[in-house]
Every structure is written in structure tokens, then in C-alpha cells.
Amino acid sequence: MFKSAKKFNTTAMSTLLIATSLLSAGANASFMDQFKDPVDGRLDASQWILNNAHGFLPVPIVITEPAVGVGGGAALLFFHENDEQKAIREQNPNAVSGIPPSVTGVVGAATNNGSKIAGVFHSGNWFNDNVRYLGGLFGADLNLKYYADADSSTAQQFGIKGLYFFQDIDFRLAGSNFFLGAEYVNMSSEANFNLDSGIPEIDNLALNSSDASVAVKLTYDSTDNQFAPRSGIKARVKANMHHEKIGGDFNYQDYSAFINSYHRLNKKWGLNWRVNAKSTVGEAPFYAKPYLDMRGMAAMRYQADNTALGEVEITYDIDDRWTILGFAGTGKAVNNNQSFSDAKWQNAQGAGFRYLMARQLGLRTGVDIAKGPEEWTVYLQVGGAW
């Protein structure tokens, strides 16, 4: 659930305000010129985002996550483009920035099932992209469903509220594509179940608790863009230790690894794929166990001690701005007392489109429609889906 909160944070960091801004702009021609790309004359937000560093930008947020329902909110974003980045952009208007500007934001959102989230964050790219930072503080009050077994069709409604504080930093190694990083997370939460139905896996400690962790990670990143990659590979392995000595109530470990790969087959066609695996060891609280994070599957729906998934995406560029795509994936959620072969494969597939909304940032926005094992879901996508 608070992992979902961080996901909302990532979306908000990239979201654009085009529709809202256009409605309030009236017929001011000079204002509207900021949304016209000087290169191809088409709708583009690059100049508005990068040339308005004097204040915050209001940004609408649309939420369509099945786990929390449909809703929306707003963010105030401040893009910090340094003098060197601005000079390079102005001298090369045809180029796409290889280093995105840093972003500071304030976010608030709510959904139709009563879930609410609010927080502040900063995403920084420092020293010519040799240091990458992400940190923030979020408060949330979420209404979710808990499945005692990934194969179960019976869900227990529960609410969870609390604070989520995180600090994440990566250092580039000797000018290479490798980054060595560390992460600290502290989450205090209070969960409320209707315990009349009885859930033996849930104890009192997990209902009102703190979970603190320190992680080390190694990342490889050769992608051409951090917002919406078109080529390159991003891969990471991470080991996370949760312990009472660093401020939590639990002692356990979790491990994760992923590879996201992006390829251009030719000028029009692209092939993207990813694999992802997560595992917990020890007495992790019910909300901390990994789940299948894939379009078409609600957060925490397919949850277990271990998860593994794979997904393939095919893209076709109609022109320099518009792209259509199709995707399909599968995964398993497997408990430690269960063999991998006994767990069911959970499949999802769908299609969508993207529009290059900010050419000089390489930022694409669009919509995906996905069908999972149980339901259809619509996603507003800002940047890449992975």
C-alpha cells in the first residue's frame, strides 16, 4: 500500500498540466506560443516546463489503480534546470536532453473508495548526472484488499494510514553506466481489519507498527532517457535489511532484481521487455510482501513471499509524435512453503498509445488499456510504464 504511494509519487513527478493550462489561457497568443514546438510547430510542453522556472506549475493527477479505485488530485511542481542545461538546450533546440532537470513537488490526491495521499518530494540530478537523488515524505490513508493467498478469490477489506519517509541516492562509478547506491525507508502505519472473519496471518504488531530498512543496490543504466526510454538497458540488484536497531519493529530481509530492456528494431518499430524478481526472508509484515506489479493487476492482489514476472511490449511510431503499442506479460506469486510449479501463472495483456508531449525532455504521455486475470483497467501513463 505505501509502495503504491511511492508509485503515485513517481507519476506525479512527471505529469504535465497541458489541459488545465490551455483552458485558463484564453486567447492570449503569446501564452499559446509557449505550447508550440519551434522545430515542427506541433503541440509541445518543453518551453512551458523549462522556461517557467520562476514558480510552481499546477499539475492535474488522474488515478486509475484498481486497488484504490478511480480518483484524482493535483501537484505543484518546480523544475530546476541549471545554467549549463539551459545553455545546451538553447544552443541545440533539436536535441533531447540527456539529463532531466531536478524536480521539487507537493502532491495531494484522493479516490472514490476513500483513499487519500499527500506529500512532498525532490528528485535531483547533480554533478552532470553523476549523482541521482530521490527523497520525500508522504502521508496516506488507504483502503485496500488483502488476499491471504494469491490464488484465493476472497478478499479482506482493510484500511491503513501512516507516514512514509524515504531517502534514495546513487553515485555513478568512474564515468561508467554503473551506479552504486543506498536507500533508507521508515514507514509508520496503523491498519484496521474486520477481524471477525479471522485472519491468522495478521498479528497485533503488524496492525500498529513501524518498518525501517537500509538497502544497498547496484544499478546499470544505459537508457537514452529517464522519463520514457526508447533504447538501452536499465538493470538493478538490491538487498534490503529491515531491523529494530534502525527504527523498526521487524527483523527481515528482502531482495530484488530487474532488467528493463528497450530496443529500436528500425525507424518505426520498437521492442521492449522486462523481467523482475522479488523475495522476502524472515518475518515480514503482511503489507511488505512483494506482489505482481503489472498493468491489469491491482496492487497487492497477487502477493506472496516471492514473485517473478516477465513482460514484452511492441511499439509502432505513426510519426515523430504519435506511437501505438501492445503488451503482454505473465508472473507468479509463490510462498516459501510452496513449490514454484504449484503456483499459477497470472497473465495480462493490453494496448495503448503515446504522444511526445515534451520533445526536449523526451517525455511521452498516453493511455493504456489492460486486461488481467479478473478485470479491465485503464491507465493514464506519463513517461514509461516501467
Q: For the chain, how many structural domains are there in total? A: 1
Q: Within 10 Å of residue 339's Cβ, how many Cβ atoms? A: 8
Task: Give me the residues of the chain with pLDDT under 50, please.
Answer: 1-27, 54-55, 197
CB 354 within 8 A of CB 228: yes
Please give the Cα distance from 363 to 365 (Å, whole number): 7
Which tens digit of pLDDT belongs to each residue from 155-191? 778 888 999 999 999 999 999 999 999 999 999 988 8
Please give the Cα distance from 294 to 348 (Å, whole number): 8
Domain of 259, CATH number, reads 2.40.160.50
Which tens digit of pLDDT belongs to each residue from 208-236? 889 999 999 999 999 998 889 999 999 99
The whole-number pLDDT of residue 78 equals 82
Q: Can you name the residues that pair with 73 across neighbouring β-strands? A: 61, 109
The whole-number pLDDT of residue 3 equals 47
372, containing H or E segment:
none
CA 138-290-351 angle, 5° bins:
85
Phi, psi of 215 (to 5 degrees): -130, 150
Q: Which three cell numbers stand for residue 9?
A: 509519487
Domain that holds residue 100: 2-382
